[in-house]
């Protein structure tokens, strides 16, 4: 990175291309602009699609596989600045402002690049959510099930129907799912709903809208479940008066 605090690392990938596990001495911001990729951080995998980004702290092993032709914009962030950001990986929804800074990082004028880098770093420092999605299972049947459920959390099946969709007995499903993710099916759904709700709340969506958007019938039921997962009320993440917009723990 030479003397830069922020340096672009932009790449396009063909469908099926695999990037083997590696790590950086710097932190890395990975932003999806086109296509879909499976990103593995340590022993956990998740999807990255347009509108989403992942913060990878320094020294964090990660690998990726393009599930379609993809365009991803990586940004390396020096250790000093990375120390101000979360020490664990975080997935979050990109803001229009953050996206607007990316093409400017490769602009012709040095001053413009410097301003874009400063703005991007400030956007991360002030708005990076710190609530990760739950781990994904490695079993292909369970992975496909979770992928479908993540697309519409309002229609998530109960345990018996989830096992049926995966083509497994209830007992086999429960044992394999816990072994792969560390969660029960119900616990995984709560964590996934909390993570998605955190993204919605950080975007300015109300608590009621977030609750309905992730499959809860009442804000009170959502608040109880959200606090069970995160330890705080969902109001903590709102951008309404009194809410900071970012979960801090």
Domain limits of the chain? 6-127, 140-237
Region for 140 from its dihedrals, namely left if φ exceeds 0, alpha if ψ lies in -120 to 50, beta otherwise: alpha
Q: pTM for this structure? A: 0.55
CATH number corresponding to 140-237: 1.10.10.60
Angle between helices 140-151 and 159-166 (to 10 degrees): 130
Tens-digit pLDDT string for the chain (249 aa): 555 688 898 989 999 999 999 999 999 999 989 999 899 987 778 788 888 888 899 999 999 999 999 998 999 998 877 877 777 788 788 888 889 999 999 877 888 888 888 888 888 876 665 566 787 888 889 988 988 898 899 999 999 999 999 999 999 999 999 998 899 999 999 999 998 888 788 667 899 999 999 999 999 999 999 988 877 788 866 644 334 444 433
- At the top level of CATH, the class of 6-127 is mainly beta
Q: Say how far residue 196 (Cα) sits from the centre of its chain.
A: 9
Q: How far apart are CA 6 and CA 207, in angstroms?
A: 35
């Amino acid at each position: 990175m030479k003397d830069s605090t922020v340096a672009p690392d932009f790449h396009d990938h063909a469908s099926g291309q695999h990037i083997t596990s590696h790590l950086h001495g710097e932190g890395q911001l990975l932003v999806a602009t086109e296509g879909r990729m499976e990103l593995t951080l340590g022993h956990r995998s998740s999807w990255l699609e347009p509108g989403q980004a992942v913060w990878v702290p320094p020294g964090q092993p990660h690998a990726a596989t393009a599930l379609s032709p993809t365009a991803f914009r990586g940004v390396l962030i020096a250790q000093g600045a990375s120390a101000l950001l979360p020490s664990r990986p975080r997935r979050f929804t990109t803001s229009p402002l953050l996206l607007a800074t990316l093409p400017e990082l490769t602009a012709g004028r040095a001053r413009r690049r410097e301003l874009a880098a400063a703005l991007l770093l400030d956007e991360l420092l002030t708005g990076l959510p710190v609530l990760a999605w739950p781990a994904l299972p490695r079993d292909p049947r369970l992975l496909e099930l979770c992928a479908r459920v993540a697309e519409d959390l309002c229609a998530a099946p109960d345990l018996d129907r989830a096992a049926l969709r995966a083509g497994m007995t209830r007992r086999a499903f429960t044992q394999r799912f816990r072994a792969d993710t560390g969660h029960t099916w119900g616990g995984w759904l709560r964590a996934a709903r909390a993570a998605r709700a955190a993204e919605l709340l950080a975007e300015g969506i109300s608590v009621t809208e977030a609750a309905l958007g992730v499959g809860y019938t009442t804000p009170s039921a959502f608040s109880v479940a959200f606090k069970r997962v995160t330890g705080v009320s969902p109001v903590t993440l709102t951008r309404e008066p009194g809410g900071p917009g970012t979960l801090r723990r």
